Structure 1
Amino acid sequence: MTVRNRRARFSVYAAFAVQGLCFASLVTRVPQVQDAHRLSDGALALVLLIVPVIAGVGSVVAGSLFARFGSGPVLRVAQPGVCAAMTLVGLTGGNLVPLYVAVALFGVSVGAVDAGMNAQAVAAERRYGMSLLTGFYAVWSVAGILGGLWVALANRLDLGLLPGFAAPAALGVIVSLATGPRLFRKDEEGTGPSAEELKAAAKRVPWRPVLIVGTAMGVFYLADSVVSSYSAKLLEDELHASDFAAPLGYVAYQIAMVVSRAAADLGVRRYGGALVVRLGGIVGLAGMIGVVAAPNAAAAIAAFAVAGLGLSVVAPVAFSAAGRVDPTGLGVAVARLNVFNYVGFVLGAAIAGVLAPAGMRPVFLVPAVLVVVVIALANGFAPRPVDTGAAARGGAGPATAPSSPEADPGPSRTGVPPGA
């Protein structure tokens, strides 16, 4: 690989790291945000619901800008916006209207960053010709661990919301500004299309394989949203953990994700995405059941780790699968798939809002049951790659599918009928 590709890949790692750090630093302080604004559980659920709803809008808007500017410039603008919005949450004091505005800004920026960094990651896979997505998500998880540990320390030191948010936000801005210029350029992601070519490209990307992996990914993000937003509350409110220990459920969840994702790329290359996701779903189901049944904080933290170990593979393998059914190299399938991210988060926030008055255990029971869907749809994570030659003849730039077991066009391996 060229020096240019290595530098761009490092910059994509940096984008995932900043996103993981900021996200964890905010969500693991949810109990403190709730206390500072005297929010009921229902009002808190509404605040948490704003983020994925607005993020979905941000993702769609960002996707529409990729064809004109590329995902790199969009990411370079949106990522500092995430850091700024997180800091604003710490400035809102006890005022609800500024809190809603800050959370909405955080949501739209997060959505744009999610779309941009995933498009950049898929571009890296295409240029390297092998599975890389789980590695990027492992970096996200490592940064999330650091964010959770920072919050545990901030809680121990009794830091206010503003200093607790400003420190990781400042680091995020510095890293983003330093590495952003080296992201993949538009011409390195795929051939820039006209409006007519983009419309034609969208028709060439099949919906069925995207819907299959998207449904499973939506379930993962539903579970992930509940763990992210309510793990600290479960430990603090129901299992009587201290302020210092409350963020550790999320930390354990992310540590397990790092371990799993570090090995998942090798597993995908050797055994295929379908088997990796199926086994991950089984392990994740065991972990979520353990969370619901946990008798104390220590058991719940261990169960969160098991859940993270299994569920962590779903999203990166889903994006990799989407890249294989997009013959245009324009990120059409990735943009479609990214919508399921926010559908899952919206449903997670809505379910939590309805069930939270009954306690935290019912909140975690629903995603535990739905993880069965991931296991059932695992075959969809090995789709048959779409003919890139046909795409080239259609006018859009051809893209090379990642070299992995799923790229084998054998008739019995995909789980999706040819041409679906």
Structure 2
Amino acid sequence: MSFNAPALAGAGHPDSKTGARRGATLAFAVQGLSVAAVYTTVPAVTEHLRLTPLLTTATMVAVALTAGGGSFLGLAAIRRAGAVATMRGAMLTAAAALVLIGRASGEATVISASILFGLAVGALDVGVNTRAAAIERAYGRSIFGSFYTAWSVGGVVAALVTAGVARLEWPVAAGLSVQAGIVLILAVFMRTHVLPSSSGLSDTFAQPPLGRGLWLRLIPFGLVLFVVYVVDSTVSAWSAVYLRQTLAASLTVAPLAYAAYQAATVVGRAATDRLVQRFGAVVVVHTAALLVAGALAGMAAAPSWTLAVLAAGAVGLGASVLAPLCLAAAARLRPAAAEVVLARLNLFNYVGVITGGAVSGLLGSTGRFRLAYAVPAALVLLLLAAARHFALPPGPARTQYGAPADRAAPPPLG
């Protein structure tokens, strides 16, 4: 069956929006699961292959670098085959990469498999966010948070699977093969649903001129994404190693900080859309930034793995709302070319991942993991200045999204 074959629910039918939302939610869950599968098995893979700390850091940075390239490969694929076909192809590639990482026999093979995984996740990232932006516009209200809730649920599932596999003393290859099997099953069962034609959306994207000013308008959102993914990379990629090396946790316990982080993001993202509709995006971003800064400081000072796990959960609760609100707001800058806007914005995402992953890994390799969590705590406070750019513009867009008046209006978009 063609990846772009429409489902029985045709364009304009109410079920097409519901089906499209369900399919995108599934894809977000797969992305969260696959990323967590890699991050939570870093200690096991490192010990199995006897990798040096610097090589482990280099491998994680390579994943982030290639994900940036994968984002633009995904953009090209979306233009050629559509967002849904791109998502499905990336999911299948990610499943294959997970198996290869688990079965790697040495340094060269694990690096090669990690690069393949990075390309797949980058393509999947731009695919799911492009599709989510289109669906949100079709609904006419804030629903981005619900997609990222699914991402977090996938991450929790993967972290618990990793902990369970370690408890059963299975080899890392078996655990990653189980995770890959889940990804494969979900990819096969994902269907294509055509969005209502009245929304002006489809899987075939025009390429209107974007203008030089778009980069300047993306800077506030890019700053937010950069900081969010510095934090996310520090917690996601290295919390298991932090618990293992600094707080003397077992391999069974080490993934629990990631599980707590993602479980808290489920709660935060499930509430995001309601919070925005009630209080406005600016207030939500302010509150989230303060919570993240305090929780990171607590994680840096944690005397035991138990408190570190609780602090990681608090970080997730605050950080969870920032990325979906950022991506949704940026997509509204150029609704007819959301995939191009999001591909550009993803550059800030991956720079943050690389920075957070590399700095945390280097600090950890020298025994200063606590500092790796203290520094981002101060960095997060920069988001307070960027929050005003999340205010919805006056007029039809504010009415459509049902949001209250925000405390600060955005600068002119011209």
What TM-score do you get using the length of structure 1 for normalisation?
A: 0.89
For 1:62, the equivalent position in structure 2 comes to 74
For 1:386 and 1:48, the matched residues in 2 are separated by: 44
Given the superposition, is the C-alpha separation of residues 401 and 154 from structure 1 closer, same or farther in structure 2, using an over 3 Å criterion?
farther
For 1:377, the equivalent position in structure 2 comes to 386
Residue of structure 2 aligned with 1:40, choices 43, 47, 52: 52
Q: Contact between 1:120 and 1:189, CA under 8 Å: does it hold in 2?
A: no
For 2:412, the equivalent position in structure 1 comes to 418
- Are positions 1:273 and 2:267 aligned together? no
Pairing 1:14-413 to 2, within 5 Å after superposition: 14-93=26-105, 95-182=106-193, 189-190=201-202, 192=204, 198-200=207-209, 202-203=210-211, 206-356=214-364, 357-382=366-391, 384=393, 403-405=401-403, 413=408
Provide structure 1 residue ranges, at least 5 long, that are not aligned to the other structure. 389-399
Letter in 2 for 1:413: A
Q: How many Å apart are 1:159 and its aligned residue?
A: 1.0
- After superposition, the C-alpha distances for 1:299-356 in whole angstroms (9 at most, x for unaligned) are 1111111111111111000011012211425423222222211111011122123322
Identity %: 34
For 2:10, the equivalent position in structure 1 comes to none
Given the superposition, is the C-alpha separation of residues 337 and 182 from structure 1 closer, same or farther in structure 2, using an over 3 Å criterion?
same
Given the superposition, is the C-alpha separation of residues 385 and 115 from structure 1 closer, same or farther in structure 2, using an over 3 Å criterion?
farther
SS of equivalent to 2:282? helix
For 1:68 and 1:153, the matched residues in 2 are separated by: 41
SS of equivalent to 2:50? coil
Provide structure 2 residue ranges, at least 5 long, that are not aligned to the other structure. 1-12
- After superposition, the C-alpha distances for 1:21-64 in whole angstroms (9 at most, x for unaligned) are 12112211110111112112111100100001000000012113
Q: How many Å apart are 1:171 and its aligned residue?
A: 1.5
For 1:361 and 1:69, the matched residues in 2 are separated by: 45
SS of equivalent to 1:66? helix
Letter in 1 for 2:290: I
Q: Contact between 1:53 and 1:342, CA under 8 Å: does it hold in 2?
A: yes
Q: Contact between 2:231 and 2:356, CA under 8 Å: does it hold in 1?
A: yes
Of 169-178 and 286-295, the range deviating more from structure 2: 169-178
For 1:17 and 1:208, the matched residues in 2 are separated by: 32
- After superposition, the C-alpha distances for 1:270-321 in whole angstroms (9 at most, x for unaligned) are 2221111110010111110000000111111111111111111110000110
Q: Contact between 2:332 and 2:338, CA under 8 Å: does it hold in 1?
A: no
Q: How many Å apart are 1:66 and its aligned residue?
A: 2.4
For 1:34 and 1:191, the matched residues in 2 are separated by: 41
Q: Contact between 1:283 and 1:307, CA under 8 Å: does it hold in 2?
A: yes
For 1:2 and 1:275, the matched residues in 2 are separated by: 33
For 1:143 and 1:106, the matched residues in 2 are separated by: 17
Letter in 1 for 2:413: G
Given the superposition, is the C-alpha separation of residues 385 and 40 from structure 1 closer, same or farther in structure 2, using an over 3 Å criterion?
farther
What TM-score do you get using the length of structure 2 for normalisation?
A: 0.91
Q: How many Å apart are 1:401 and its aligned residue?
A: 9.2
Letter in 1 for 2:113: A
Letter in 2 for 1:245: V
- After superposition, the C-alpha distances for 1:188-239 in whole angstroms (9 at most, x for unaligned) are 7348466xxx251x22873333210111111101110111111011111111
Letter in 1 for 2:20: A
For 1:208 and 1:384, the matched residues in 2 are separated by: 17
Moved beyond 4 Å, runs of 4+: 183-188, 190-194, 385-388
For 2:8, the equivalent position in structure 1 comes to none
SS of equivalent to 2:190? helix
Of 363-372 and 338-347, the range deviating more from structure 2: 363-372
For 1:12 and 1:363, the matched residues in 2 are separated by: 34
For 1:269 and 1:205, the matched residues in 2 are separated by: 29
Q: Contact between 2:194 and 2:202, CA under 8 Å: does it hold in 1?
A: no
Q: Contact between 2:24 and 2:131, CA under 8 Å: does it hold in 1?
A: yes
Superposition RMSD on alpha carbons, in Å? 2.4
For 1:2, the equivalent position in structure 2 comes to 14
Q: Contact between 1:323 and 1:401, CA under 8 Å: does it hold in 2?
A: no
For 1:249 and 1:283, the matched residues in 2 are separated by: 17
Q: How many Å apart are 1:16 and its aligned residue?
A: 0.8
